[in-house]
Amino acid sequence: MPLKRIAIFASGSGSNAQLIMEHFKRHKEMEVAIVLSNRADSYVLQRADNFEIPTHVFSKEELYHSSTILQLLKNLDIDIIVLAGFLWLIPENIIRQYPKRIINIHPALLPKYGGKGMYGDIIHETVIANHDLETGITIHYVNETFDEGEIIYQNKCLVENTDTTEKLAYKVHQLEHLHYPRVIEDLLKKTEKASLAL
Ligand code: GAR
């Protein structure tokens, strides 16, 4: 049976990407085929190198005004695109070609605290300032608008009185690490090979 192939897009440290690459390292039916980033200095590229997974760094021009990224995904026979801390919008030409095959993780309980500019500590600071009793993670399909695609999975944690932004960020990251690889695997199991379906 042909392997199902994952492309990870990430802009930053890539701790989620790390856990995903570890999860699929010895998987018999699925693999991470490439890690793409918009930043040449992203630590995620180093992490991918450590797993001997190919990487590709692209510019805004390349992503939004050429078809090279789409072509690269096609050439690699990618089945699912996983965003793991990727902070740019995915362009329409890619979204159209990968219906229900692009997913994102967001460090909040969407629809709360989504949208452009809502990422990282800004979210956790807002959760604390609003005295929310709980926060969590959302894994969702990606569409043309930031953080608005159909929700696939959510998981919650409590916000304690003593929680600082750092503590909350840590808790939410732990939740992401615990669930994202498994949710990706479950989704891929249910997804036909892209080359057969498209
Ligand atoms: C994660 O918390 C992810 O949810 C968030 O970026 C972080 C990346 O961490 N993504 C967003 O906020 C997208 N709107 P990592 O680089 O350590 O995986």
Q: What is the mean pLDDT of each run of 10 residues along the chain (198 residues)?
A: 91 97 96 98 98 98 97 97 96 95 97 91 97 98 91 98 97 98 97 74
Q: How buried is residue 82: exposed, middle or buried, by Cβ count under 10 Å (0-12/13-18/19+)?
A: buried
Contact by Cβ (8 Å): 80, 6: yes
17 closest CA partner among 52, 58, 45: 45
Give the residue whose CA is nearest to atom 10 of ligand 1: 85
106 is catalytic: yes
Q: Rounded to an integer, what distance in angstroms lies between the CA atom of residue 1 and that of residue 95?
A: 26
Q: What number does the ligand 1 atom closest to the CA of 173 have?
A: 2
Check residue 144 and give its pLDDT: 86
Give distance in angstroms: CA of 175 to centre of ligand 1. 12
Give distance in angstroms: CA of 76 to centre of ligand 1. 25
Give the residue whose CA is nearest to atom 3 of ligand 1: 85
Pick the CATH number of 4-197 from 3.40.50.12780, 3.40.50.920, 3.40.640.10, 3.40.50.170: 3.40.50.170
Check residue 46 and give its pLDDT: 98
User: Is the entire prediction scored with pTM above 0.75?
Assistant: yes
Check residue 196 and give its pLDDT: 62
Give the residue whose CA is nearest to atom 2 of ligand 1: 107
Check residue 55 and give its pLDDT: 98
Side by side, the strands of the sheet bearing 4-9 are 55-57, 30-37, 4-9, 80-83, 102-106, 134-141, 151-158
Q: Tell me the backbone φ, ψ of residue 111, rounded to 5 degrees.
A: -80, 5
Tell me which H or E stretch contains 30.
strand 30-37
What per-residue string of b and e applies to 9-20 under the rule 16 or more CB within 10 Å gives b? bbbbbbbbbbbb
Check residue 195 and give its pLDDT: 75
- Asked whether the bond before 107 is cis by omega within 30 degrees of 0, the reply is no
Give distance in angstroms: CA of 2 to centre of ligand 1. 30
